[in-house]
Amino acid sequence: MRRSSMRQLLIVTAALLLLSGCGPVEPTPTSTPVVEPVETTSPTAEPEPVVEALTIPDCETLLPIALARSAFADSTEFLEETVATEYYPWFQIPAVNTAIAGVTVARSCWWGIPNSDGSFFLLVAEIAPETRTSIEAALDAEGFTSVDMGTLSARENGREGGNGYEAETHLFTGDVWILADDGDLSVTGIVAGSALDEMRSANPTLGL
């Protein structure tokens, strides 16, 4: 009887040990995956286009003396650079006078025969598009002949005035205005054309 009781005790003890070893297993904690933040690049603003400043060569480059003499007279000399805002063209047209008074980037040049009344002037200036429009409209209303050639717009006119025959040639291209005046349209055309060529050479990227 004692042996039987002992055996039962051993069986119960073994069963308890088995139960304690087979208890619920605590779940192993799993690590939460770390989500790395995704860097987003802000759209880069387009750079502002660089506007190249207009270059106006000096007077003697705009019209070389050899060309001035062949167009006007053998004794022609470059006399001086004058104040651009005080340029005084033959045709006193209000829109033209207002534009001249307001130029800031400009050059005004004077050639002639020393100790004589023979001379001519050249103005090269940078103007705003709206100023160009007002000048061209005023010249058209005054009866100037108009010619358009690609990027170039030309106006010219001549008349008998108080100083004899008075002639003006105006050239417009981009923001550039070229005005030449003399007593002969053939001279003003050569002078303005030379200035145009030199302006294009000095500003190759502006599409003049």
Euclidean distance between CA atoms 84 and 122, whole angstroms:
10
DSSP structure string for 85-138: GG---SS--HHHHHHHHT-SSEEEEEEE-TTSS-EEEEEEEE--HHHHHHHHHH
pTM of the predicted protein model: 0.76
The confidence band for 163, taking pLDDT boundaries of 50, 70 and 90, is confident
Residue 76, pLDDT > 50, answer yes
Indicate if the pLDDT at residue 107 is higher than 80. yes
CB 199 within 8 A of CB 124: yes
Q: Which helix (H) or strand (E) holds 199?
A: helix 185-202
Q: What is the DSSP letter of 1?
A: -
Please check the confidence at residue 89 and state whether its pLDDT lies above 80: yes
Are 59 and 107 a contacting pair, CB within 8 Å? yes
Q: Kindly list the structural domains of the chain, giving each domain's residue range(s) and its CATH number in brackets, ordered by start.
A: 59-202 (3.40.1000.70)
Short-list 88, 92, 123, 82, CA closest to 106: 123
Mean pLDDT, residues 69-90: 96
Residue type, 14: A
CA nearest 178: which of 118, 126, 103?
Answer: 126
Grade residue 52 by pLDDT with cuts at 50, 70 and 90. confident
The per-residue pLDDT of the chain, averaged, comes to: 84
State both tokens at 68. Answer: 């001035």
Is residue 109 scored above 60 in pLDDT?
A: yes
Q: In the predicted model, is pLDDT for residue 137 greater than 60?
A: yes
Query: Residue 195, class by beta-carbon neighbours within 10 Å (0-12 exposed, 13-18 middle, 19+ buried)?
Result: buried
Smallest CA-to-CA distance from 138 within 175, 183, 103, 172 is with 172
Q: What is the pLDDT of residues 1-50, one digit of tens each?
A: 444 444 444 444 444 344 444 444 454 445 555 555 555 555 566 666 56
What gap in Å lies between CA 128 and CA 103, rounded to an integer?
Answer: 10
Residue range 119-148: mean pLDDT, rounded: 97
